[in-house]
Chain A
Amino acid sequence: MSSSLASLLSDSAARFPARVAVVDPSAGESLTYAELQERASEIASALRELGIGPGDRVGLCTPKSVAAVAAIFGILETGAAYVPVDAAAPAERNRFIFSDCGVAALLAADAGADEGEPRQVAGLHLFDRRGRAAGDGAMAETTQAPDGLAYILYTSGSTGNPKGVMLTHANALSFVDWCSEAFSPDEHDRFSSHAPFHFDLSILDLYVPIKHGARIVLIGEALGKNARLLAPVIADEKISVWYSTPTVLRLLAEFGELESLDLGALRLILFAGEVFPVKHLRALKALLPTPRYWNLYGPTETNVCTAFEIPQEIPADRDSPFPIGPPCSNVETMLLDGELLVRGGPVTSGYWNLPKRTEEAFYRDSGGVRWYRTGDIVKDIGAGVLDYVGRRDRMVKRRGFRVELGEIEAGLYRHPQVVEAAAVAVPDPESGVSIYAFLCCEGGDKAPKTVQMKIFSAKNLLSYMVPDRFVFLEAMPKTSTAKIDYQKLSSLATASQ
């Protein structure tokens, strides 16, 4: 059993030096395990020369590339933690993150990513930030980094600044080892790496293949958003394990012309990050019947903590989303007023430099044991299998009834012409709360409109769930991680009141 993420690479480099570790089809680049290890060590030496080691943080600001993968393993090799950011995000946000956690150095693809003169290392620019880190770090010192911190992933806070979720080597390895058990990967597998490195889905994409001597196939940001170009890459690269959000899979089914491609290598399709509407999952399975499909669930704070394998045959009358599954073997779960609480190997110890937020995020049981509060409401449907009901903060009271916005969306998806549906609730001075349904529909002139959707909703939803307003959009606003941008929709709804 490995004790650090860096040793996953060194172990595989010793066993499979000549196998390809990572390939970037867009750039036409690839590295064998021996080469990746060498590049990582080169970066590690450069960082050590700056005095960086265990207890330090190093920022990473690059698009997907083989150099970025080498940088991640190089940072880990020094014992420091990496802090990946979206290279396309506003500079101000990234500056906040680097200053918040006091990164001692920054590895970037862009020579202008930071002040000062960078040094060239293994195809990236290395900025020394130690002087500033000390200044920035004045606040950061209040956080006691957990032993063996491996990376900090910043997620958007519900208000204001992003918050840094601290994950240790032990957290990540607990998850990686669970994946080994659940998916039996081997050195012949080829894993997609679709998620950006600042998104938690990337943890599976990076470390599971490296542990097993398999291949990482990097999907860059531009390619990842273009289903028509992406689908042939899955075929050409003979990807065997695909992992992404359902949105990406839906686009592949819709625009990827999958029927014309040989996707015979694909044995596993994993999805996470949002609910997969059954109509879209069914359409995908009709095009790709062979692979096994898994719905993985878990906030960044817990890694994946429940998993459900989709049955080979989806019953024709099923229109509610599949369960998120029983808890993974490496966690314990409990329900508190319907909310899912998780503890165990893969669960974070808390947020960087936010002791109060950390305290609020955990529940302490009578024995003093800490449980992470996911904020997700679930229902035990028997034998420990959990149905996802919705976000605690997406529950609204309407006319005294508890309304789950996700349930409204599931009802709207039953309309054959509804392609995407999102419900948001905004305060309403008269009725307390107003429910807006944002819809993307197909059918051009024949697409449903307000009256038709109102009548449809009344037939398919409980009366207190029928949306007050229907807003028809050409395209749903999405976050940088390709999920529906509810914050944007809420402000659209508020603006239209």
Chain B
Amino acid sequence: MTEEEIKPIVKKYLLEEFLQGADEDELDDSTPLMSGGILDSISTTRLVAFLEEKFGVAFEAHEMGVDFLDSIGSIAELVAEKQAA
């Protein structure tokens, strides 16, 4: 899958799970998820479990942090990279 295909799936998940009531346009590819406090450690763990299952990829422990998961853009980039590998 391309990054552009992955993004809307991640966005939909984030809106449904962690941002109920939010409008779609409130969240863009660069909205700070972890550094902004939208995702905390528990929700990050849930997000990673979702990504692994949905896209058939595995995350390393060091990837479960702000450097890789802070925005929809960087999540999509990482997932696409993993799928391609």
Interface positions of A (Cβ within 8 A of B): 399, 449-452, 454-455, 457-459, 463, 466, 468-471
* Interface pair A452/B26, CB less than 8 Å apart: yes
Write out, one digit per residue, whether chain B residues 41-70 have a CB within 8 A of any chain A CB (1) or not (0).
010000000000000000000000000000
* Interface pair A455/B26, CB less than 8 Å apart: no
**27 CB-based A-B contacts, threshold 8 Å:** A399-B42, A449-B22, A449-B23, A449-B26, A450-B21, A450-B22, A450-B26, A451-B19, A451-B22, A451-B26, A451-B27, A451-B31, A454-B19, A454-B36, A454-B37, A454-B38, A455-B36, A455-B37, A455-B38, A458-B37, A458-B38, A458-B40, A466-B37, A466-B40, A469-B21, A470-B22, A471-B21
Top 8 A-B pairs, shortest CB-CB distance: A458-B37, A450-B22, A455-B36, A451-B26, A463-B40, A454-B38, A449-B26, A450-B21
* Interface pair B40/A450, CB less than 8 Å apart: no
Which residue on A lies nearest to B42, using beta carbons?
A399
Q: Chain B residues with Cβ under 8 A from A468's Cβ? A: 20
Query: Given A451-B31, A452-B26, A469-B20, does the pair A463, B37 have CB atoms closer than 8 Å?
Result: yes
Q: Chain A residues with Cβ under 8 A from B26's Cβ? A: 449-452
Number of B residues, CB within 8 Å of A: 15
Shortest distance between the CB of B41 and any CB in chain A (Å): 8
Partner of A470, one of B21, B31, B37, B40: B21
* Interface pair B21/A458, CB less than 8 Å apart: no
Shortest distance between the CB of A306 and any CB in chain B (Å): 36
The complex places the Cα of A270 from the Cα of B40 at a distance, in Å, of 42
Shortest distance between the CB of B25 and any CB in chain A (Å): 9
Q: Chain A residues with Cβ under 8 A from B31's Cβ? A: 451
Which residue on B lies nearest to A456, using beta carbons?
B37
The complex places the Cα of A470 from the Cα of B31 at a distance, in Å, of 18
Shortest distance between the CB of A335 and any CB in chain B (Å): 33
Shortest distance between the CB of B19 and any CB in chain A (Å): 5
Write out, one digit per residue, whether chain B residues 5-47 have a CB within 8 A of any chain A CB (1) or not (0).
0000000000000111111001100011000111010100000
Shortest distance between the CB of A229 and any CB in chain B (Å): 36
Q: Chain A residues with Cβ under 8 A from B40's Cβ? A: 458, 463, 466
Which residue on A lies nearest to B28, using beta carbons?
A451
Q: Chain B residues with Cβ under 8 A from A469's Cβ? A: 20-21
* Interface pair B19/A455, CB less than 8 Å apart: no
Q: A449-B22, A451-B19, A469-B21 are in contact. List 8 more A-B contacts (CB 8 A).
A: A399-B42, A450-B20, A451-B22, A454-B22, A454-B36, A455-B38, A463-B37, A470-B21
The complex places the Cα of A468 from the Cα of B17 at a distance, in Å, of 10
Shortest distance between the CB of B5 and any CB in chain A (Å): 23
Which residue on B lies nearest to A399, using beta carbons?
B42
Most buried by B among A399, A455, A463, A470: A455
Partner of B38, one of A399, A449, A451, A471: A451
Q: Chain B residues with Cβ under 8 A from A451's Cβ? A: 19, 22, 26-27, 31, 38
Most buried by A among B27, B31, B38: B38
Shortest distance between the CB of A31 and any CB in chain B (Å): 53
